[in-house]
A and B are shown apart, each in its own frame.
Chain A
């Protein structure tokens, strides 16, 4: 079963704009991960945030986590056409990951 749900399901923006994607989950977690998937390819790990962290940065990526609301957000700043992809959150379930439904991001040049 899928633990996380991303919102929105699809997002279209212009290059240079910021993109924000949200993930909600149901049960308590130890950490949450974000992945990117380009069309026809496998997933690529972007960032991991632990349950005792509230915010984490990696380059143009900023992830926040609110365990009280069981939600996380991924912000991509100054987007580029190459950021066009699907983005998934994944929460931990013992040694497995449970993936959300994904947000399809389209960045127009």
Chain B
């Protein structure tokens, strides 16, 4: 597709379950970012992948959060033993190359609700 694709668009799960969120970046984009957006809030940076370099995990809030990326394609964000405070929209973005002057292209997010 032409844009960043995220799945599922909505996820409702019980507290304590694990969830896996998927992001398909724009083809050819080497940089991929994950953000969390709580209701009515701005974006919190979670993790950043750049090609084959080690990811920047500095934004992950706890060791329950992890993410992987296969080469320069799909990425998955996994949240283990979910808590109610994990309820948020998780947004993925990609850019053609990494860099502070690169516009980021966003998917529409996964809305995660923890019961």
Bits for A86-108, please: 1 = Cβ < 8 Å to B, else 0. Answer: 00100011111111111000000
- The answer to whether the Cβ of B31 comes within 8 Å of any Cβ in the partner chain is yes
CB distance from B35 to the nearest CB of A (A): 8
Cα distance A40–B50 in the bound complex, in angstroms: 27
Check if A42 sits within 8 Å of B109, measured CB to CB. Answer: yes
Check if B41 sits within 8 Å of A101, measured CB to CB. Answer: yes
Contacting residue for A31 out of B35, B93, B100, CB 8 A: B100
- The answer to whether the Cβ of B56 comes within 8 Å of any Cβ in the partner chain is yes
With A33-B103, A42-B4, A42-B91 in contact, do A95 and B108 touch (Cβ < 8 Å)? Answer: no
Bits for B80-102, please: 1 = Cβ < 8 Å to A, else 0. Answer: 00000000000101000011110
- The answer to whether the Cβ of A57 comes within 8 Å of any Cβ in the partner chain is no
CB distance from A84 to the nearest CB of B (A): 15
- The answer to whether the Cβ of A50 comes within 8 Å of any Cβ in the partner chain is yes
Number of A-B contacts (CB under 8 A): 61
Cα distance A95–B98 in the bound complex, in angstroms: 6
With A88-B43, A96-B33, A98-B45 in contact, do A42 and B100 touch (Cβ < 8 Å)? Answer: no
Q: Could you say which residues of chain A place their CB within 8 Å of the CB of B105?
A: 45
CB distance from A35 to the nearest CB of B (A): 8
Check if B48 sits within 8 Å of A95, measured CB to CB. Answer: yes
CB distance from A99 to the nearest CB of B (A): 4
CB distance from B31 to the nearest CB of A (A): 7
Cα distance A68–B35 in the bound complex, in angstroms: 29
Cα distance A95–B93 in the bound complex, in angstroms: 13
A-B pairs with beta carbons under 8 Å apart, 14 shown: A2-B44, A31-B100, A42-B107, A43-B91, A43-B93, A50-B101, A88-B42, A95-B48, A95-B56, A96-B33, A96-B48, A97-B33, A99-B35, A102-B41
Identify the 9 closest CB pairs spanning chains A and B, nearest first.
Answer: A42-B106, A92-B100, A45-B103, A99-B43, A101-B42, A95-B98, A43-B106, A99-B42, A42-B108
Residues of chain A at the chain B interface (Cβ within 8 Å): 2, 30-31, 33, 40-45, 48, 50, 88, 92-102
